[in-house]
Amino acid sequence: MARPDIDKYKDIYQPDDIPSSKPPPEPIQGKFIKAGALAVLALLLVGIPSYYYVSQRGFHWFAEDEDAIQVESGKELVAVHQLVKEGKLVRALDVIQTLHKLHPENAEYISTSAWVYFKMENYRRALKFSEDAVRKNSSSARDYAILGACRLFFKQYQSAFEASLKAIQLDPDFSLAYLTVGEVYLKTDNPERALPPLKQAGRLDPNNSRIWTRLSSAFIKLEQWDKAQLSAERAQELKPDAPGVHFNLAMIYYKKEQGPKAVEHMQRAQDLYQQAGQLEWAGKSRQNKELIIRKFKLRPEDIIP
């Protein structure tokens, strides 16, 4: 992906606050594997990719197809972080689940479980583990940030706000916490107050598509259409198949009297929401698409080249 011209975004951030605009990392597909035998004896008897754990000493093996990783005892969490970094979330979950079952009171394993579940967008499990994590350790910004983001997902806005503020207090550079604070303001219909935390989140994590999408939503609510479009276009560059990005672009083009483009993006949003199983938003997209077609009196040839 070509590096976008940063001058395009100068109206969104102050010149000295413009975030870097590096291209996002290439997505890495997660691979689903079957766990092998847990016992060393079974590993010796069965010559297949396996994962086992020696609780007191020794080595840990993580095997997938032809690739095997040997991790020295005491460095299990390093392996989990590496697997997450590589996009191998199922493997990471297998490892951390095993560690947690063996040591259910270990605060680091509880915290890492919350993080892995959050990365997998399993917010119910992430919420449970993050609640346990902050009870075990009240000084982890990441745990409070995940807790806040999960509570936001379940529409617990006040507690999401409080947990995120606690995360910021512990670590002023934790972007997820600022994003959640901004989203709470958006959800409670206060877009003007949403902008400062969303901008700060963007400064800290400029390649996060969700942040740019939420910035676009705030500018839409404030009827700042050019800034809304720039933000949505940046979000689309980072994550072309995010349905919220296309929904926002459709609304922007609708307001700019560009009917065919509005329909194109609203149809794309509908398809993506449908694929994701978000049927409520797929329905909203379909209704908006039909409204746009009626509004501009569009014919099929106006929509389909």
State mean pLDDT over 25-35: 40
- Checking 270-277 for CB contacts under 8 A at 24+ apart, the result is 272/241, 272/242, 272/243, 272/246, 273/243, 276/243
Question: Please, what is the end-to-end C-alpha distance for the chain in angstroms?
Answer: 26
Asked if residue 8 is part of any domain, the answer here is no
Boundary (domain end) residue, out of 61, 85, 104? 104
pTM of the model: 0.78
* Residue 78 identity: V
Q: Is the pLDDT score of 5 beyond 70?
A: no
Boundary (domain end) residue, out of 84, 104, 124? 104
Q: Domain total for the chain?
A: 2
Place of tokens 């902050």: 134
Boundary (domain end) residue, out of 79, 104, 129? 104
Asked if residue 51 is part of any domain, the answer here is yes
State mean pLDDT over 90-98: 94
Place of tokens 């449970």: 128
pLDDT for the residue 300: 81
Place of tokens 């003007």: 192
pLDDT for the residue 166: 98
Asked if residue 121 is part of any domain, the answer here is no
35 exposed, middle or buried (CB, 10 Å; 0-12, 13-18, 19+)? middle
| Residue 61 host element (H or E) | strand 59-64
- Pairwise CA distance, residues 167 & 176, whole Å: 9
* Residue 253 identity: Y
Going 38 to 40 to 41 to 47, the CA torsion angle's sign is positive
Asked if residue 66 is part of any domain, the answer here is yes
Asked if residue 62 is part of any domain, the answer here is yes
Asked if residue 157 is part of any domain, the answer here is no
Pairing between strand 67-72 and 59-64? antiparallel
Cα distances (angstroms) measured from residue 106 to each of 17, 59, 135: 40, 20, 12
Q: Cα–chain-centroid distance for residue 180?
A: 11
Q: Which residue range is the domain that position 88 belongs to?
A: 31-104
Asked if residue 210 is part of any domain, the answer here is no
Of 35-39, 188-192, 232-236, 285-289, minimum mean pLDDT range: 35-39
Asked if residue 124 is part of any domain, the answer here is no
